[in-house]
Amino acid sequence: MCELSTVIMIITHHKGEFMKVSFSDTTLAFNPISKKSKISPTRFGADIAFVSLNDEDFNGVEEVTRTAKDLFIVRGPGEYEIQGVFVKGISSKSEYSKEASINTIYTVRLEGMNIVFLGALSDKKPDMSIMEDMDGVDVLFVPIGGEGVLGASDAHALAVSLEAKIIIPMHYDGIGSSGALKTFLKEAGAEGVKPVEKLTLKKKDLESKSGEVVVLKS
């Protein structure tokens, strides 16, 4: 068993809200893009896939399924424990899809680090009771593109209220409104932030962080 301080988490962005989080021998896929989406999907093998909203832009679990390994799919509210990954999901509102308005916010605890994935959230003040037993938010994924999800200003306000150590904006390329990222960075006082290919983290790296915005290339 590796000590928590030495475990490395690697995060990459694959357009829209499609996020890949890898640590040790486990890979998580958040809101994978379907072949039916207007956005080109990325294929890779995952151990756990999270779908926050049943829409083709977020439910492409077939794109992250390994042929030789089972994929555990989390599709909604509840509590789960999968391969040492502790998950809670809570129902929230989305106005992104006409066919599905229920969005699931996920908290994920792994290797001593806390992730909150807001998905296609449109509610400016969602029920965050899901976080009551968490000792803080290490990494927050927040939609910023408007057009059915949080706009840049409201997204920033919610991120600040959650006191996340690292904030990763999503849902601004391909499916969000143009200019959303620029507005979000201005709200956060982070206009100078440059996109990076990936974010590599250890638990100890988070100790000095407070509201740091990281933009991932997609």
Report the CATH number at residue 30.
3.60.15.10
Does the residue 194 lie in any domain? yes
d(CA 34, CA 137) in angstroms, rounded, equals: 29
Residue 12 — φ and ψ, nearest 5°?
-130, 155
Does the residue 218 lie in any domain? no
Does the residue 151 lie in any domain? yes
Its pTM stands at: 0.94
One-letter-per-residue 3-state SS of the chain: CCCHHHCEEEEEECCCCCEEEEECCEEEEECCCCCCCCCCCCCCCCCEEECCCCCCCCCCHHHHCECCECCEEECCCEEEEECCEEEEEEEEECCCCCCCCEEEEEEEEECCEEEEECCCCCCCCCCCHHHCCCCCCCEEEEECCCCCCCCHHHHHHHHHHCCCCEEEEECCCCCCCCCHHHHHHHHCCCCCCCCECCEEEEHHHHCCCCCEECCECC
Which range in 1-15, 131-145, 151-165 is most confidently predicted, on average pLDDT?
Answer: 151-165
Does the residue 216 lie in any domain? no
Q: What is the pLDDT of residues 108-135, one digit of tens each?
A: 999 889 999 999 999 999 988 878 878 8
Does the residue 162 lie in any domain? yes
d(CA 120, CA 76) in angstroms, rounded, equals: 13
Number of separate domains in the chain = 1
**What does the pLDDT read at residue 5?**
57
Could you tell me what percent of the chain has a pLDDT over 70?
97
Q: What is the pLDDT of residues 165-209, one digit of tens each?
A: 999 999 998 777 779 999 999 999 999 999 999 999 999 999 889
d(CA 155, CA 145) in angstroms, rounded, equals: 9
| Domain carrying residue 133 | 4-210
Burial of 133 from C-beta contacts in 10 A (0-12 / 13-18 / 19+): exposed
Mean pLDDT of the chain: 92
Token pair in block for residue 183: 């507005």
68 band by pLDDT with thresholds 50, 70 and 90: low
Residue 145 — φ and ψ, nearest 5°?
-85, 0
d(CA 60, CA 158) in angstroms, rounded, equals: 27
Q: Please, what is the end-to-end C-alpha distance for the chain in angstroms?
A: 33
